[in-house]
Amino acid sequence: MLATKTGLTKSYLSKVERGLSKPSIEVALKIAKALNVSVEALFSHDHQDGKFGIQRAVNGVSGDPESYLSLVGGLHPASRTRVFIVRPTIASSRNRLVSHHSGEEILFVLRGQVEVKINGQTEVLRPGDCASLDPESPHKLSPVSDVPTEVLVVVSSSEEDN
C-alpha cells in the first residue's frame, strides 16, 4: 500500500492524486521511490527517450505556473539530479511541512523573496541569491510577501537513493 510505503496518509495521497494538494520535493521523491518509478515519470508530459528528456516551456514559462512544484529538468531516467521550479505562496506555505531528504540541494531565487528556515536559522533570499544546504536538515521555504516568487531548486540524490 502506497501510504505505508511512503509514511503518508491515504487522505493526503488522495488529495495529491486529485490535484488538490501539491507535493513537496521530499514527498515527490518518496512517492516515486515507493512506486519504483522516476520522479519525471510522475511529473513530465514531454519528450523522453533513452538519450535525453525535454521539458518544454509554454509561452516562455517553465512548468505549471499555477503549481507549487514543477519538475523542469533532470528528465533522463539515469539522472541523479532533478531541477524544480518552486512557486511558494503565503497560502501554500502555511500548511507545508518542513522538508528533509538525502543528497544535496541548491536554491536559486529567480523572482520575489523567499525565507529559508533551516536548523533554527532564518535567511531571506532575493533574486539572484543562491544557497546550498544540507537537505537532510529539516528546512522550509516561505515567500516574504504576496509578490509572486519563483525558486529554482536543484536536488541531487545519492547513488543509493536511485
DSSP codes joined into one string, 83-144: EEEE---HHHHHSPPPB--SSEEEEEEEES-EEEEETTEEEEE-TT-EEEE-TTS-EEEEES
pLDDT tens-place string over residues 7-58 = 888 888 877 776 677 777 778 778 878 877 766 666 655 545 556 666 777 8
In the chain, domain spans: 2-161
- At residue 125, the pLDDT reads 96
pLDDT tens-place string over residues 124-149 = 999 999 999 887 788 888 999 999 99
Least confident interval from 4-8, 48-52, 112-116:
48-52
In one letter, which amino acid is 148?
Answer: P
- At residue 54, the pLDDT reads 67
CATH no. of 2-161: 2.60.120.10
Please give the model's pTM, rounded to 2 decimal places. Answer: 0.67
Please determine, for residue 112, whether its predicted confidence score (pLDDT) is greater than 80: yes
